[in-house]
Amino acid sequence: MNFTIEPQQQELIDLAKTIAVNEIAPRALDMDKTGVMDEELLHILKSSGLTQTSVPKEYGGAGLDLLTVALIMEEIAKGCSGVATVCAANALASYPVLFAGSDDQKKELFDCLNQGGMACFALTEPGAGSDAGAVSCKAKKVEGGYILNGTKCFITNAPIADKFVVFANTKEGGGIRGLTIFLIDAKTSGVSIGKEEDKMGIRASATAEIIFDDCFVPESARVGKEGRGFLIAMQTLQASRPVVAAISVGIAEAAIEAAVAYSHQRKQFGAKIASFEMVQQMIADMVMKTEAAKVLTYRACVAQMNKEKKAAMYSAMSKCLASDTAMEVTTTAVQVMGGNGYSRENPVEKYMRDAKIMQIYEGTNQIQRLVIANEATFG
């Protein structure tokens, strides 16, 4: 597979790598313990453009293509996938506005991101996870706009977001045909942040509920037409899943690096464990599977960029394979490191906890397999 990266885009990938090594990785274990994103680090990410990867050139951004965004997120994830999730959530929130928003809405969101603001994508609800059509957050049409009532849960960046991209139902009786998107300022009256999750992994990223209590939004907050939300959500996830795949690849690469380094340093039976064939086999499998996941991830980005017919299938395959690989590779990395791998003093047990969410968010891997099977069987 051939692809070229423009020099300007390569600069940003290199910058992400430098920041991951010098600023993210040294803070990663601390953020994992506290469950709080380091303020100074967030400032560095914002001022270096890493929270604005989705902003097009005409709105003052770098106009990066999807492959470049994926390569940036892979580098950040090597430092900490919780941090990559924070940055990627801004891109996830941008896609519905990019695909269906008005010029004013694009200005509103992208000016905010350019100025260091944060955003979130609010689809999931207590009763609506894999089944997006079950969204029960209501948007009732009133004069001049809509009144929203309902609760969103598990929303990445919710506590630090300035702009919410919210999916609510405008149809009596609900269902996917009523899903409608709204771009809402966090300071809007009737919006509040609910319970914050105490998570297994990606603990640098904040995940919380958003509660809408008789929240009035003007008609100008509606993104696209009423009832188009499901289609735009699917387009958004299709564009974004290769980024989850790239973060997964980054986690796997970090785990391999740690396991290989340890295998050279640890001695048992008078020899470095790197010399034992069974350890070598574990490392060979880790490297081989990660490389395969990486190639499929980049292929999915290219399919999406070229608007290929099977782009949705590639997107699902990349997310599914890369996250399953990250889970397997991080578990093996713990095995290579034995008891030390299980200790919180080393990062590999964190990689293992972080990898798990990659199989769940942006559509579980069961849902990805449904997408793949559907395209392979009936597409």
Residues recognised as catalytic: 362
Tell me how far, at minimum, the Cβ of 195 lies from ligand FAD, in Å: 13
**Tokens 């979130």 identify what position?**
120
Q: Which tokens hold the place of 23?
A: 């600023």
Tell me how far, at minimum, the Cβ of 92 lies from ligand FAD, in Å: 7
**3-state SS assignment for residue 299:** helix
Residue (120 or 204) nearer to ligand FAD, CB: 120
Tell me how far, at minimum, the Cβ of 208 lies from ligand FAD, in Å: 10
Closest residue to ligand FAD, Cβ-based?
A: 129
Helix (H) / strand (E) element for 367: namely helix 365-378
Helix (H) / strand (E) element for 346: namely none
Tell me how far, at minimum, the Cβ of 162 lies from ligand FAD, in Å: 15
Contacting positions for ligand FAD (CB under 6 A): 89, 120-124, 129-130, 154-156, 199, 202, 207, 357, 360-364, 366-367, 370
Please give the span between the terminal C-alpha atoms of the chain, in angstroms, as a whole number: 24
Residue (9 or 157) nearer to ligand FAD, CB: 157
- Please give the backbone phi and psi of residue 203, each rounded to the nearest 5 degrees, phi first: -75, -10
**Distance between CA atoms of residues 92 and 90, nearest Å:** 5
Q: Which tokens hold the place of 168?
A: 């609510």
Are residues 69 and 91 in contact, defined by beta-carbon separation less than 8 angstroms?
yes
Tell me how far, at minimum, the Cβ of 204 lies from ligand FAD, in Å: 11
Which residues make Cβ contacts (< 8 Å) with residue 145, sequence separation at least 6?
A: 216, 217, 218, 219, 220, 221
Residue (19 or 208) nearer to ligand FAD, CB: 208
Residue (263 or 325) nearer to ligand FAD, CB: 325
- Of 269, 22, 200, 352, nearest in space to 343 by CA: 352
**3-state SS assignment for residue 56:** coil
Residue (49 or 363) nearer to ligand FAD, CB: 363
